[in-house]
Structure 1
């Protein structure tokens, strides 16, 4: 993983403050952790490791990734919420632990808005609906066809997600509510184990981010049915959207951000937001984000905090209305 990011490390020399200048400001004076709420290999983990590599070069101390998966991301997020607000424990926040999982895990032990300082927006990716071509007939090439096939099966086909409460899980519930199809949810502890079972044929359907699966799609090991964005994606223009199949508004994205425990001092908030802005401006990072299918729009720190609060209100409220449980 670090070898893939070597060009990013070389690019850091042209940006930002020197280690000596950073050290004069007091933070950081020891190792900084970025907690990822899913196992290694997924988009959150990849993004965290890009930032870790860059910041370990730019800052006077190392920045390491700490994977703490489980319970739809709430275990890792709950851990961060209990840590001192000193800038040494950060959260690679995303839709699951902040928006969709708290209504499903009401005893998670944190409030997704008030328990954190939401620092910076890192971007968002749409999902792709995929099937194992050995389990689903070749005639099924779009969402309408998948729904018709699933309805004709004697038992509800299984779909895999990265965990109960993940955006993948919520999209599956919304798909069923919108179309009347019945599917059986199989939650995993992250995307990687779900994909292993999807590729192996243990489950016929899976939802995940598109870039992480593009090679399997191009090789024919998986068949892409639809993307959950309003428009087709440049890396796979042949894959129809959910709207192409007659379901406009059936959309989903997984946003990524950087957060910390509530009460993080304003100077550290400002410094971290500036570090994110500098990293996203680096051409190698922009290229890596493009490869990952991550779309970025500029946000100030207050704008990102407001965005999170709105997501919790609207999307989180919709999750509550669906009555989804962690089972």
Structure 2
């Protein structure tokens, strides 16, 4: 029995040895950070911002690549099947959890195929109307919705987008009849709002800030748990009568499952260092977000909870799964 136990221990040690050696020599080459959306967009900008600062401490550059399509799932799939050696990261967003709820079959598990590192930023959505309208509060939106056959139409970045699901959750939570009108991205939905094609749009602050500052769009509410620092005069949905309403998107780093723990800890530490830099924090705030890191365990629990939340919203709204 002792001999068999010793052989088993030796076998386990031999399996662990390559992982330990890999962690000791890491990073051996430039890192790749994949993100699933257009170059120049929020995800791309966040990945480049954090990657540039983290590269200083790692001694290797972090090269950001856009793997676009299917709501970010192509990038997620590429990272899930990458070697778990710490050289391939995913800049995941709130859409990662939405996809886990929306798609019936994915080539990866939304949580189980990944090793979480840390969240980077959280940002709320805004309820936006045309300033030519008489809508200034959520109560006025609700009143118009109830007086309109079919409810108030709202534009979003597309069917199954987080924006779409925010509207569905708001309608259910506040008892507001909502009619979804999908567009191809934020720019198209905001153009439709400017042209009075829809009376309201749900979009992230980054997409709408230039038009808000120019007086071309009017924000009615923000969806976070507290007022957004970039627009402190704007009340939240919760402040306007929908207790506990809190919907924000987020961005964070993930690795392939099985990445050695020392590498996870190093990337986590470098992320936290970058998030403490005033230049990084101010840039994230300019984009409409709040710089906020987390432990890998906290991020794992958050993503799992998000998948469950959006699964319920999709089922309640009878949105067809893809």
TM-score range for the pair, normalised by the shorter chain length: 0.7 to 0.9
**d(CA) in 1 for partners of 2:188, 2:85:** 34
Match of 1:318 among 298, 307, 312: 312
Give 1:130 shift. 1.0
Looking at structure 2, the residues matched to 79 and 133 of structure 1 have their Cα atoms a distance apart, in angstroms, of 43
Alignment of 1:1-327 (within 5 A): 25-97=24-96, 99-133=97-131, 137=133, 139-154=134-149, 158-178=153-173, 179-188=175-184, 190-199=185-194, 201-313=196-308, 315-322=309-316, 323-325=318-320
Q: Which runs of 5+ in 1 are unaligned?
A: 1-23
CA contact (8 A) 1:74 1:101 kept: yes
1:44 counterpart SS class: helix
Normalised by the length of structure 1, the TM-score is 0.80
Once the two structures are TM-superposed, the CA of residue 280 in structure 1 deviates from its matched residue by 0.7
Deviation at 1:204, TM superposition (A): 3.8
**Are residues 183 and 276 of structure 1, via their aligned partners in 2, closer, same or farther at CA, if it must alter by over 3 Å?**
same
Kept in 2, the 8 Å contact 1:71–1:164? The answer is: no
Cα distance, 1:200–1:81 mapped onto 2, change above 3 Å = farther
| Per-residue Cα deviation, 1:35-65 (whole angstroms, up to 9, x for no partner) | 2222234432221120132234444433222
> Aligned in 2, Cα 1:199/1:37: closer, same or farther, shift over 3 Å?
farther
Structure 2, gaps ≥5 residues long = 1-22
**RMSD value over aligned CA atoms?**
2.7
Distance change (3 Å), C-alpha of 1:244 and 1:270: closer
Distance, in Å, in 1 between the alignment partners of 2:60 and 2:193 is 40
Equivalent residues of 2:118, 2:293 under 8 A apart: no
User: Highest Rg: 1 or 2?
Assistant: 2
Task: Please say if residues 158 and 186 of structure 1, whose CA atoms lie closer than 8 Å, have aligned partners that are also in contact.
Answer: no
Distance 1:316 1:163 in 2: 15
Deviations 1:107-146 (A, max 9, x none): 2222111011111111211111112335xx2x11112212
Distance 1:90 1:75 in 2: 13
Q: Return the offset for 1:278.
A: 1.2
Q: 1:320 to 1:203 in 2, by over 3 A?
A: closer
- Aligned mates of 1:83, 1:278 — CA distance in 2: 26
